[in-house]
Amino acid sequence: MTVRIIQNRQEYREARQTLLDLVRRDPALGTPEDDQLLALAIDVERYEVQHVLDLPAGSRLTMVAKRGWNADGSHRFLLPSWERRRLRFALGLHTPLTRDDRQVLQQAVPVIEDVGEPYAVRIAEVPEPLREELREWWRMWCLPLFDPDGCGDCIYVWDWSDWLDGRVPDLP
C-alpha cells in the first residue's frame, strides 16, 4: 500500500473520482485493488483534513474525512466491511443494511424503556459509520430528536425500527 501526498485541488478531484470508481467495483479484501482503495482513502482523507474541512457547513466535499486518526498520528480503520460501508456512504453511494448489520445493531444498541415499554434509542450508542448514516436519514425525513434525561440526543424506537428495516418513516 503506497500512500502519497495529494498536492493540489486537481489531484484531489482525480483521487476522489478514482476512489469512487474503486468503491463501486468493491474489490475483494486483501487484493492489490483493495490495497489501492485503502491507500487512496488515506490520501483523500489526509488532504481533506488539511485543506477542506474548514469549508462552509454543508459542503459535500468533506465527507470522506473521518475522525479516524490515533493519538500517535497513525490511521485507525474500522472493521473492513464497515470501513467500506463508510467510504460508500461518504461518496454518496447507498448501501442497505444487511441482516448481520441489523442483528449486530439490535444487540449492541440499548433501547431506553419508559414504564416497561421500548421508547427511544440514544444516537451516541450507534457505532460509526452507521451513526452518520442514521443522522443523514433522520435529517432527510425531518424526524424529531429529544433528550429525555440530559444524556444525549435520542430518536423514537419506531423511527429506529424503520431505519433498521429500510422503511420510510410513518409521517403524519
- What's the pLDDT at 92? 64
Do the Cβ atoms of 92 and 60 come closer than 8 Å?
yes
Q: Which residue has the higher pLDDT, 70 or 140?
A: 140
pTM, two decimal places: 0.55
Residue 39 vs residues 2, 62, 92, 113, 154: alpha-carbon distances, Å = 6, 18, 19, 44, 36
> Is it the case that residue 71 has pLDDT exceeding 80?
no
Q: What is the pLDDT of residue 83?
A: 62
Q: What is the mean pLDDT of the chain?
A: 75
* Reported confidence tier of residue 2, pLDDT bands at 50, 70, 90: low
The pLDDT-based confidence of 16 (bands split at 50, 70, 90) is confident
pLDDT at 148: 85
Q: Which pLDDT band, with edges at 50, 70 and 90, does 85 fall under? A: low
pLDDT of amino acid 121: 94
Per-residue pLDDT averaged across 3-17, rounded? 83
Q: Is 120 helix (H, G, I), strand (E, B) or coil?
A: strand
